[in-house]
Structure 1
C-alpha cells in the first residue's frame, strides 16, 4: 500500500485496535483502527500472537469473534463507503464488511488469501463461509501457486483466482558491509516458533553438520508456543553454545543479522493439521541481503527457490538431506556465490514491492 500511495493513489486501511492511536498516517497510508469489544480494556482478540492463538485463551476472547464481526461491518459501512475498491486481507474474518459494502453501495472488492485461512476453514467446518465471502469478490489473489491449489481444493471459483506473491522492500533489505567472524560459519533461520516452521528438524540436523564442521553456529530468531520445547531439544542434543534462539527483533536488527549470516535456512514442513508455508517471505529478505538460502520443498517455497539456481530445495523432515546440503554449501564457495547473485537478481525482478504494487494496481483497475 505504501508503494501504491507513491504512485498517486489514496489508500485507507481499516484494522482492529491493538494499542496506541486509532487514526493516523503511516508512510502516506491513512490508518484507522476500530475497537471491537467493551469495556475496551478487555480487548484480547487482536495483536500479540494473532487471532488464531489469542482465541484459545478463554470464553471471553471467543465471544469477541462475534463482536469483531459486528464492528468490522459497522466501521466498514461508516468509514469506507466512499472508496472505489476494497482490498480484503484474510476474508475470514475481514470479508464480511466488504460484502456489506458491495451489497449496500456497489463497491467491488478483491480478497487476498494467505493460505492458513483455508486450512482453518476446513478444520472448523467453515468452508461454506469462506466460499461465500471469496466467491462474492471480483478477484481472489493468492500468495503462491500452492495456496492457489489449496483454494481450488476448497471449492473456490477458479476463474477468479490469480497468484501475486508477497514482496520485499529491496531498498531496506540489502547487502551491508558488516563485521563477520571468519572463524564461524553462521546459519540463520527466522520465523514463528510453531510446528509448520520445522525448526525441530533443523536443530536435529545440527549434530550431523557439526561432526564435519565444528565452526558452524545456528541462530533462530522468533518466539512462539514451541519455544520451551525447542530450547529443551537444544539442551538434550548438547548443542548449547552452537544453537541459540533469539526472541523477535526489530527490522533494523534483523537486517544486521541477515548480513552477518553465511547461510539462511527455512526448514518448513506440512504440519499435523495439513498446514504449511504459504510463501516464505523471510527467504526473500535473506536473498535480497545477499545470503544463500536453503528451503524445504513444501507449500509456496518452490515459487521462490529454483533448486540449484537461486537456492537449494530439500525434502522436508529428513535431517540427513538437510545436513548434507548445509555441508555442500559450506564447502563450495563458488556455488554459494552463484546462488547469491541469482537470488538477488530474482528478488529485484519478481518480488520487490515496486513490482508487486504495479500488479495490484492493474487488478484494481480491471474491476
Structure 2
C-alpha cells in the first residue's frame, strides 16, 4: 500500500527533533513494508531526501524563498506571532500545500494528515478529485487554532470528511468533543517512544549530585519558568540539586535572564539541542525528569508529552503537570507524579519528596518503564494505525 503523509513538521536529518514523533511513526510503518511518502514545508536543507526508508519532499510556501518564516523550529503557532508578514504566509502556505498535495500525492492509496489545521484542505481536495481516502491525527493544536480564529466549522468539515480520525490522548479527544465532534468518529492512539533506542544504560553517576532533566522547545506552554522558580525552594533544602534544560527557542534569552536574576547559575543550565545519543546519556545520567507544561496565554497546551515517555523508557522517575494529555502517561503515584500547572510550591514539594525518598523514586521508575513497554511502544502504535489503514482500504 502507498501511503501519502501531509504534515507541517518533519525532521531534516536523523537527530533533528522537529516533528520527530511523526517520523518515528512513519518509519515504523515503512518497516512493515508500506511505501511512505511525506510532504512537508521547506525549513532549510534539501527539498528531497530519504530518511530511514521514508521518502520526504519539501515544498516552498512563499517567494522569494529567503523570506519564508512560518515553518521554523518553534512551530507555526509561535512563529505566526511575529507579525502581519508571517500571518500572511499562512494563506500562501495553504495554497502551496494544496497545489503540492494534488500534484505529488495523487498516486497514493491513502493519505495520512497530521495537523488538519492547516494541512486538511489538500487531503480533502485529493479525496474529492482522485477518490483517495484520508485519515487524520489530531494533536490538540488544531482545536486551539480553530477556536482562536473562529474557524472550528472548518475543522469539523475536515474531520467529518476524513475516513477516520485519531486523537493522541483523552485530553485531545475531550477538546474535540467541545467543538461538536462525536466520540464515535475517533480512535485514541497515543504517540510513543522508540524503546529499542531509549532504554536504561549502565552509567556511572555523580552520587554527590541529584540531577534533574527537562527537555523541550523554549516556549511559553512548556512552563520552564515555573520549574526554574521552583528550584529556588528546592535548593534552600538541598544544595546538591542541579537542573539541566535541553532545548532552544524564542524564550531562551528570557529564561537565561531569569536564571541569572535568581542567582541559580551554578545549579541550572540550559543546553542547546543535542543529538539523540547525547540525549539518551542525559536521561540515563538523571535522577528525575520534569515536564512543567502549562495552558499558555493563547489557550494552547501539551497534547501528550513524548519526552516523558523517553524518560520513562530509560527508567527515570517523572513529574508532569496535570493538564492536556499528560495524565494519559502519568498515573499519579504509580508511574510518576502529577502536579497542578504553574504551582511552584507543589512542584517544589514533589521534587523534595523524590529527593528524599529513593524507594519511591524506584517505584515510579519501574511503574513508568512497564507502562511504556506495554502501551507506548512504537511497534504496537504503528500496528494500530496499520489496522485503520487496512480497514479503510478494504471498504
TM-score, normalised to structure 1, is 0.96
Q: 1:208 to 1:55 in 2, by over 3 A?
A: closer
5+ residue gaps, structure 2:
1-25
The equivalent residue for 2:141 is: 116
* Among 385, 389, 395, the residue aligned to 1:360: 385
* Among 190, 193, 211, the residue aligned to 2:236: 211
The equivalent residue for 1:166 is: 191
5+ residue gaps, structure 1:
none
Taking the aligned partners of 1:318 and 1:76, their CA distance within structure 2 comes to: 44
Q: 1:39 to 1:233 in 2, by over 3 A?
A: closer
SS in 1 for 2:187: strand
1:88-132 residue CA offsets vs partner (Å, 9 max, x unmatched): 001011111100111011111111111112112211222122112
The alignment status of 1:96 with 2:126, answered yes or no, reads: no
Q: How many aligned residue pairs are there?
A: 367
The alignment status of 1:141 with 2:166, answered yes or no, reads: yes
1:121-152 residue CA offsets vs partner (Å, 9 max, x unmatched): 21122212211222211111111100100011
The equivalent residue for 2:314 is: 289
Which residues of 2 match residues 68-87 of structure 1 at below 5 A?
A: 68-87=93-112
1:238-286 residue CA offsets vs partner (Å, 9 max, x unmatched): 2120111222222222111111111001111222322221111110000
- Asked whether the equivalents of residues 203 and 284 of structure 2 are also in contact (C-alpha less than 8 Å), the reply is yes
Taking the aligned partners of 2:72 and 2:43, their CA distance within structure 1 comes to: 5
Runs of 4 or more above 4 Å deviation:
none
1:275-330 residue CA offsets vs partner (Å, 9 max, x unmatched): 22111111000001111101111111110011111111112222222111111111
Taking the aligned partners of 1:224 and 1:164, their CA distance within structure 2 comes to: 28
The equivalent residue for 1:243 is: 268
SS in 2 for 1:366: helix
The equivalent residue for 1:221 is: 246
- Asked whether the equivalents of residues 121 and 127 of structure 1 are also in contact (C-alpha less than 8 Å), the reply is yes
Taking the aligned partners of 2:48 and 2:186, their CA distance within structure 1 comes to: 33
Q: 1:65 to 1:316 in 2, by over 3 A?
A: closer
Taking the aligned partners of 2:327 and 2:276, their CA distance within structure 1 comes to: 25
- Asked whether the equivalents of residues 135 and 157 of structure 1 are also in contact (C-alpha less than 8 Å), the reply is no
The equivalent residue for 1:325 is: 350
Which residues of 2 match residues 1-367 of structure 1 at below 5 A?
A: 1-367=26-392
Q: 1:62 to 1:272 in 2, by over 3 A?
A: closer
Following TM superposition, by how much is the alpha carbon of 1:43 offset from its aligned partner in structure 2, in angstroms? 2.5
Taking the aligned partners of 2:235 and 2:331, their CA distance within structure 1 comes to: 27
Following TM superposition, by how much is the alpha carbon of 1:160 offset from its aligned partner in structure 2, in angstroms? 0.9
TM-score, normalised to structure 2, is 0.89
- Asked whether the equivalents of residues 74 and 219 of structure 2 are also in contact (C-alpha less than 8 Å), the reply is no
Taking the aligned partners of 2:226 and 2:68, their CA distance within structure 1 comes to: 36
| CA RMSD, 1 decimal | 1.5
SS in 1 for 2:212: strand
